[in-house]
Amino acid sequence: MQDLNPAPGGRAAELRDRLAAVRHRIAAASADAARPEPALIVVTKYFPASDVRILSGLGILDVGENRDQEAAPKAEETSDCRLHWHFIGQLQTNKAKSVVRYADAVHSVDRVSLVNALAKGWAAENEHREQRGEHPRDPLSCFVQVNLDEAAADARGGASPGLIEELAVRIAGAPGLALAGVMAVAPLGADPLTSFRRLGDLAAAVRAVDVRATGMSAGMSADLEAAIAAGATHLRIGSDVLGPRPPLR
Ligand SMILES: *Cc1c(COP(=O)(O)O)cnc(C)c1O
């Protein structure tokens, strides 16, 4: 059991207080926008599995990671915690097989080759499970990542807006994959509200492919209020919960 009444000055107390402040901002922004509160995904990249464990004890259900080589062992170390793992980083096709073992959702689907690799990986994983007499995996939730900053092509990943409908169709038709919606990172230097409203328009095109694809993954520590105002359903918050990121190990 996690200590839910942690000693002052400890890491658990720090995370509890930071999380409370972020939750307060989310509640206030949702009330201001008269929108339902989005799901909170705490991005634990660069932070140890011990922090993931504390967050689980504080009631967090969703965590996000952006590198498979870091996420895979962390998910393994905390496999006794009830968590959903969200993969949010640029993903090489040769890592898809590993990611489907622990991830419930991939927010960074930005090309057809990755759709195919994820579907293939999901099928292989389920075959293994069947052989071991285990439950099959739920379908993998896939968000189409949109590049809202075409001037800086590829800088932060994502498909150009003209390609997202095709990607949505491919995901919706792939066995084992479930089309979840759209995802974007606000371009540097642009007004996040304008960017996220544009994402909201693009979300409608994806919803037209599958009415269940109502997700809009948008909003990080610095711009969560703008994302909520524009209709985000999933926030990806790292540093405001965990603190400044330590240097890459
Ligand atoms: C790191 C990261 C986040 C979290 O960013 P913070 O500014 O630390 O809240 C969200 N989304 C993606 C894609 C990231 O890589």
Asked if residue 152 has pLDDT above 80, the reply is: no
Which residue's CA is minimally distant from atom 13 of ligand 1?
A: 88
Q: Would 247 be classed as within a structural domain?
A: no
CA of 215 to the centre of ligand 1 (A): 17
The proportion of the chain whose per-residue pLDDT surpasses 90, expressed as a percent, equals 88
What pairs with residue 145 in β-bridges? Answer: 183
- Asked if the structure places residue 4 within a domain, the reply is no
CATH of the domain at 204: 3.20.20.10
User: Going by CA atoms, what residue is nearest to atom 10 of ligand 1?
Assistant: 236
Residue 245 has what pLDDT? 81
* Assigned domain for 165 exists: yes
Counted domains in the chain: 1
Classify residue 249: in a domain, yes or no: no
Q: What is the mean pLDDT of the segment spanning 24-43?
A: 98
126 CA distance to ligand 1 middle (Å): 30
Which residue range is the domain that position 211 belongs to? 11-242
- Mean confidence (pLDDT) of the chain: 94
42 found inside a domain: yes
Say which DSSP state 161 is in: G
Residue 226 falls within a domain, yes or no?
Answer: yes
Band of residue 153 on the pLDDT scale cut at 50, 70, 90: low
Q: Give yes or no for residue 184 CB within 6 A of ligand 1.
A: no
What is the tens place of the pLDDT at every residue in 68-89? 999 999 999 999 999 999 999 9
**Residue 239 near ligand 1, beta carbon < 6 Å:** yes
How many Cα neighbours within 13 Å face the side chain of 235? 32
**Per-residue pLDDT tens digits for 45-71:** 999 999 999 999 999 999 999 999 999
pLDDT on residue 150: 74
pLDDT score recorded for residue 157: 84
Q: What average pLDDT does range 7-35 have in this prediction?
A: 95
Report the pLDDT value the prediction gives residue 1, as an integer from 0 to 100.
45
Provide mean pLDDT across the span 149-176: 88
Q: Is residue 52 part of a domain?
A: yes
221 lines ligand 1 (CB under 6 A): yes
1, part of any domain: no
pTM: 0.95
